[in-house]
Structure 1
Amino acid sequence: MTYFKPFFISTIVLLFMACGSGNQKPSSLFEIVLEGNSTSIKQNEALGVSVKNLKDKSIDNIVYSVDDEQMQLNGNKIKFDIPKLGNKVLKADVTYEGNTVSVTKKIKLLAATAPEIYTYTIINEFPHDTNAYTQGLEFYKDTLYESTGKRGRSFLRKLDFKTGKVFEQIDLNKTYFGEGITILQDRVYQLTWQSGLGFVYDVDGLKKLDNFQYGKSREGWGLANDGEKIFKSDGTEKIWVLNPETLGEEGYIETVTNSSVFNRANELEYVDGKLYANVYQKPSVMIIDSNSGAIEGVINFGGLSDKVTKTDTWVATDNVLNGIAYHPTRKSFFVTGKDWDKLFEVQIQKK
């Protein structure tokens, strides 16, 4: 017994080593290398891509893909003409010596050009309730609908934008912090902040019809719609696409500039293929391509809060610009802020 024991142990070790050599992790065999060691790529840019052979294997074929779409090599370069921007994973399926393994590399696909800068001209000023901590603003048939936040102060109301007269209002339970709204097919959809819960109302009497829960999105921030689907921001770089019938999340876009992925989209409005998004705690609004996520423009609303009456309870980091609604007949935007005493009608133009 003592004679065979060392032999037995050494045999097991050799067998283990042999098995281990055939089950190495793909990342120990191959590595994706991008030209210039870049991890950020602009949309439609052609960049050199290769696979580093770490163990001198005999490679038969390599297939590259992003978002499950095969990417074609042209002279060892890939043109990253991918419709949706943001955080991506470049995958290489490597066939070698009768095996196929997959290796991946995280990349950021950015906008091709920098955002253009826009400014504004005030057309009209209207009264706004200083007890309205505005989180959502939207027009429907010339009537303004507004959703507000703060627990114990959250409500949904419809009002005359010219006078501030409230037609109807429903108060939320004090446990909820109201957020963005959108209106589609005679229904008002309203988010709450951290409760993971949204509400659906009849557009006429504001009668609550249903509740809905969030899926993978983190929180409830802003809502908008393009007539067919609903867009939802959640405090991250993602703007989620919701099915209006099921309220299920069916995908997302990510908001990016030509230099970074950006994560401050708050209140939303949709106009002609673009999402207008308040930048969280900043006096500005992003103009986002609703298909790609590219931030194509930034509207600088600096100076607008100077026209608002400051109260003793005014807090600069809290009573910020928030709320944007487009009036399709007047072809103008309406903007306000949290607890502001004015609602501004503005025209947007390039600076």
Structure 2
Amino acid sequence: MKLGRSVIAVGVLALALVACGTGAPTAHTDPTAGPVPVIKPVVLAEIPHDTTAFTQGLELDGPTLYEGTGLAGASQLRELDPATGAVRRAAPVPGNYFGEGITVVDDRVWQLTWQNGVAVEWDKALFTPVREVPLDGEGWGLCRDGDRMVRSDGTDRLRFHDATTFAETGTVSVTRDGQPVRFLNELECVDGQVWANVWQTDTIVRIDPGTGVVNTVVDASGLPRPGDPGHRQVLNGIAHIDGQEFLLTGKNWPSMFRVRLDA
């Protein structure tokens, strides 16, 4: 669920506040630890981005950048040129579903839906849907962490799924300085850590999925956003390039930014 989407799709504002392990979620804190460090992205390059793309997911797979876009009846899976931002291929999400986060798993691409109760598995080469599997709760962000996938649902919880069957295998609650972090959105798994956009903010958090503890915060408020600064231009899109370099963008942004995150 996203405020910008609610305005566009149904004209109302509806916020759902719902709160590693494989059982009941628990908060992990270290009373001796200081505040979580806050960093700012160092911009290395600016790359064009299609302003019609209501970006929900972004992932780099070798020479190809994949993007999932949203809005009911307009959602797509896209293949982009990471150097120019040009759209190489695009396919509509089946069922007029409201598309959400994506992740690549070998020769497949998984794409969430927001409130349609399914996840869609795509053939990466053919760019066609292969199957749909049931999805419990809302779908927001998705990333691959080894032999599992990590999903956000708009709450303070990360859910873990088998990378082949999509069966849910556990959850963890996310905290920053001992407080829950809600509205976790687009995800990117990197070296055993989960980076997450916090919806309707300019904040990205890095999470230890074993404990749910936020260990780094990114303040991306300095990224330029020409045009309407309203709800449609929410920061939402993280793709890891290599090392400390990432691509960041947002819904209907005119640019993607190649940045360095010195975490």
Q: Tell me the TM-score normalised to structure 1 length.
A: 0.65
- Structure-2 residue corresponding to 1:326: 240
One-letter amino acid of the structure 1 residue matched with residue 120 of structure 2: F
Q: For residues 246 and 148 of structure 2, what CA distance do their matches in structure 1 show? A: 22
CA contact under 8 A between 2:28 and 2:213: conserved in structure 1? no
CA contact under 8 A between 1:85 and 1:110: conserved in structure 2? no
- Structure-1 residue corresponding to 2:159: 240
1:196-238 Cα offsets, whole Å, 9 max, x none, are 11100111221211111113xx200000012211000001111
1:106-150 Cα offsets, whole Å, 9 max, x none, are xx5435533211111100100000000100000111210000111
Unaligned runs of 5+ in 1: 1-81, 89-107
Q: For residues 200 and 99 of structure 2, what CA distance do their matches in structure 1 show? A: 17
- Structure-2 residue corresponding to 1:349: 262
Q: Equivalences for 1:65-80 in 2 at 5 Å?
A: none
Unaligned runs of 5+ in 2: 1-19
Shift of 1:173: 4.2
Q: Pick from 144, 157, 177: which aligns with 2:78? A: 157
Q: For residues 87 and 189 of structure 1, what CA distance do their matches in structure 2 show? A: 25
Q: Relative to 1, partners in 2 of residues 1:285 and 1:111: Cα closer, same or farther, differing over 3 Å?
A: farther
One-letter amino acid of the structure 2 residue matched with residue 344 of structure 1: F
- Structure-2 residue corresponding to 1:309: 226
Q: For residues 244 and 63 of structure 2, what CA distance do their matches in structure 1 show? A: 12
The number of aligned residues is 242
Q: For residues 206 and 111 of structure 1, what CA distance do their matches in structure 2 show? A: 46
Q: For residues 25 and 218 of structure 2, what CA distance do their matches in structure 1 show? A: 25
Shift of 1:259: 2.6
- Structure-2 residue corresponding to 1:208: 129
The one of the two structures with greater contact order (alpha-carbon pairs below 8 A, sep at least 6) is: 2
- Tell me, yes or no, if structure 1 residue 197 matches structure 2 residue 118: yes
One-letter amino acid of the structure 2 residue matched with residue 151 of structure 1: A
Percent of aligned pairs with the same amino acid: 36
Q: Which runs of 4+ in 1 moved over 4 A?
A: 82-88
Shift of 1:334: 0.2
Q: Which has the larger radius of gyration?
A: 1
Q: Secondary structure at the match of 1:309?
A: coil
- Structure-1 residue corresponding to 2:38: 117
One-letter amino acid of the structure 2 residue matched with residue 300 of structure 1: D
- Tell me, yes or no, if structure 1 residue 230 matches structure 2 residue 149: yes
The two structures, once aligned, show a CA RMSD in angstroms of 2.0
1:152-189 Cα offsets, whole Å, 9 max, x none, are 22100111021222222111247311100001121100
Q: Equivalences for 1:9-20 in 2 at 5 Å?
A: none
Q: Relative to 1, partners in 2 of residues 1:166 and 1:317: Cα closer, same or farther, differing over 3 Å?
A: closer
Instruction: Identify which range, 128-137 or 144-153, moves more after superposition.
Output: 144-153
One-letter amino acid of the structure 2 residue matched with residue 238 of structure 1: R
- Structure-1 residue corresponding to 2:100: 179
Q: Relative to 1, partners in 2 of residues 1:175 and 1:315: Cα closer, same or farther, differing over 3 Å?
A: farther
